[in-house]
Amino acid sequence: MASARVMMTSTTTCVLSKTPFLGGLNRSNNRLFFNNKAVFATSSFKRSLFTCKAIFNPQQLQIKEEGQFETLDYRVFFHDASGKKISPWHDVPLQLGDGVFNFIVEIPKESSAKMEVATDEAHTPIKQDTKKGKLRYYPYNINWNYGLFPQTWEDPSLANDEVDGAFGDNDPVDVVEIGDVQRKIGEIVQVKPLAALAMIDEGELDWKIVAVALDDPRASLVNDIDDVEKHFPGTLTAIRDWFRDYKIPDGKPANKFGLGNKAANKDYALKVITETNESWAKLVKRSVPAGDLSLV
């Protein structure tokens, strides 16, 4: 049975434009640091983010569930105020300004159903992943809210020289939100990025951006990777180990991580977001082949 959840947010129209990137740069020396070493100059951060222009509408964006949860037919669609289906991947703006980003929840914390945006279906609804026609589950619950940054894409034709030459995994960038609240599938949460983990999954680069919701009680205390260690002790290591090991119970090898097997800082995370947003812009402008990906 279909149902609808109503979320207070703005509706969007996808008019591709650039907006200034208002990240938290270290402007004293224009460098980013990883493991206390400068890894590159930040001139690229002066580039603007591509985004769909958000048009404020006091009406409500609806999240409609179709089919029964944990079945092959289950889908979560996003609708604008007029009832028109929109894409959570392409139509929800990435940036809100002042270093704040929209995070779309696919998998609530303390759950195991492997939900994901269906990048190859029209309007890219959220569905449960399958393998050989069967629904997929993690072997144990994930301990954080998990989802994606809209308007990002890890280009499978681009090799990342900083991460063992790995190519992108052809998906939006993943987000691990470490706040206290268990979110809902399809919920759009305002977050600030804090760190990045460069997971390599069967040779493909699969970024994990660690972020915290702005409404979390500890959000004001954490602004970079060192704050995470102080106020969420052990969390970065736990996230890395969870994603490293979750395939082992199925008889697969552990995933690997680049960047010295450690998390990179906030500025590095912002760099990843900027670069994958630029890749997404090329995708939707059809400057690169889309393959089976849906652009609507």
Nearest 10 degrees: CA dihedral of 62, 54, 97, 238?
Answer: 30
- The answer to whether 138 is a known catalytic residue is yes
With H, G, I as helix, E, B as strand and everything else as coil, classify residue 153.
Answer: coil
Cα–Cα dist 287/167, whole Å: 18
- Cβ distance 259 to 34 under 8 Å? yes
138, 146, 246, 268: the catalytic one is: 138
| Cα 179 from chain centroid (whole Å) | 15
Q: Which of 264, 260, 200 is nearest to 226 (CA)?
A: 264
Q: What are phi and psi of 152, to 5 degrees?
A: -130, 155
Cα–Cα dist 291/260, whole Å: 33
Q: Which of 84, 97, 22 is nearest to 53 (CA)?
A: 97
132: which 2 tokens? 């050989």
How many separate helices (H) and strands (E) can be counted in the chain?
Answer: 3, 23
Intra-chain end-to-end CA distance of the chain, in Å: 25
Show which residues are catalytic.
138
